[in-house]
Chain A
Amino acid sequence: MNMNSLRQKLWNWSLRCYRTLLRIYPRDFRGEFGGQLDQSFRDISRDESRRGFLGLAMLWARVLPDLAHSAIASRQTSDLGWQFRLRWVIACGLGFGLYPFPFHVINYFFGFPFYVGRFRVYIPQPPLEVYFAGSCLMLAFLQSRVVSNKSFDRKRWLLFTLASEAVFSILARAGVISIHAPSLAAILGFAGALIGFAQSLALRGRPLQVGLLLTANAISLAIIVLLPLPMVLGIGPMPPSFAHLTLGWAISGCTLGVITAAPLEWLLRTRPCPQES
């Protein structure tokens, strides 16, 4: 075997290797840009082949870190399909399922005395908004674990979600909305719309995307009361147990996750990706 044929074989092997390694990219990315990646690699190979074996080494020294780095980046932004939706549904289910948990934690400490020097101090009972804020933050945190990617601002997501809860509380305190009127579904739908609006703003969605996510959240929270589960929200002939309540809330959360996954995924797919500051 002469030197030229050995060199040719090596370059062909290099191209085959690269084509195999392209499998580390997500399927949708490969489908869209696989041919272009292959073409670019052949272009670079053609240029580097003038430098012989050194060129081959230089080519791979450049391509391997690039492959690793860009595959991770493309998975962070492209990994949105069914896996994303499933994780989102689970996060919503878990977040809603654990919704009563902060209530129990806060109630545990309420009335519990502690000592400052010789003085016995009781923790005053916080307003209802504090309970809801705790639950809201827990849900938003779990959701943010799924939504997170390189350009995602978790603090913004949490802050905006909390702000929506605050707006709801202020309106309720001011008597603008009441738990009895016009209906529980409408009230929950309104709360969902507020959350959807806040979260899509946190993700810097476009007006149509904001509208879609807002609507999806509103519908999903409104239909919670229509679900054929008496234990949901504690509505039923018997006082619900903690387990029943948790299950009811978890099912409600999963329902919200299923309805909101698609508009959220669309927003995440199309949003620009600024550099981390």
Chain B
Amino acid sequence: MIQDSLPLNHADFHIMLVLADGERHGYGIMLDVAELTGGRTKLGPGTLYTSIKRLLQAEFIEESDHRPDPKLDDERRRYYRLTQLGRKVLAAESQRLEKLVSYARSRRILKHA
């Protein structure tokens, strides 16, 4: 099941990576992905929610009832968090990418850290 889901879509991977740090609402995910990638990946609302729908259906993420601060936050916002399955898939995808990077290093495309 986990291996069948790999490789993850570019947007899906970034969203899951951001959610690994804790739950976020849609716009929060967009801001964090932009920050994570140094502004190189800016998810649009359409791409974001298409990915979110796909991840919800695959049960990699789930909607959270918890609101960090209900007084400060818009009640209509929906928050998302990673599921256990999603965490495993994210780990598997990260390992896959790590292997690719190791290969690139072994071919001296990348310098050793």
Residues of B within 8 A of A274 (CB): 4-9
Name the contact of B46 in the complex, choosing from A69, A270, A277 (C-beta under 8 A). Answer: A69
Q: How many contacting A-B pairs (Cβ < 8 A)?
A: 92
**Which secondary structure characterizes the binding site on chain A?**
helix
Given A66-B45, A275-B9, decide whether A39 and B76 contact each other with a Cβ distance below 8 A.
Answer: yes
Query: A179 contacts the other chain (Cβ, under 8 Å)?
Result: no
Mask: chain B, 1-23; 1 = CB below 8 Å from A; 0 = not: 10011111110100000000000
Query: A84 contacts the other chain (Cβ, under 8 Å)?
Result: no
Of A27-35, A86-94, A124-132, A223-231, which binds chain B? A27-35
Query: B106 contacts the other chain (Cβ, under 8 Å)?
Result: no
B8 adjacent to A39 (CB under 8 Å): no
Given A29-B53, A206-B1, A277-B7, decide whether A41 and B45 contact each other with a Cβ distance below 8 A.
Answer: yes
B54 adjacent to A77 (CB under 8 Å): yes
B5 to chain A, nearest CB (A): 4
Query: B52 contacts the other chain (Cβ, under 8 Å)?
Result: yes
Name the contact of B52 in the complex, choosing from A33, A67, A71, A78 (C-beta under 8 A). Answer: A33
B53 adjacent to A272 (CB under 8 Å): no
B7 adjacent to A70 (CB under 8 Å): no
Residues of B within 8 A of A74 (CB): 46, 50, 53
Query: A40 contacts the other chain (Cβ, under 8 Å)?
Result: yes
Residues of A within 8 A of B26 (CB): 36, 39-40
Given contacts A67-B44, A74-B50, A272-B58, 20 further A-B contacts (CB under 8 A): A29-B50, A33-B49, A33-B53, A35-B76, A39-B74, A40-B26, A40-B30, A43-B27, A43-B30, A66-B45, A69-B46, A70-B44, A70-B47, A78-B53, A270-B57, A272-B54, A274-B4, A274-B6, A274-B9, A275-B9
Residues of A bordering B, CB below 8 Å = 25, 29, 32-33, 35-37, 39-41, 43-44, 62-63, 65-67, 69-71, 73-74, 77-78, 204, 206, 269-275, 277
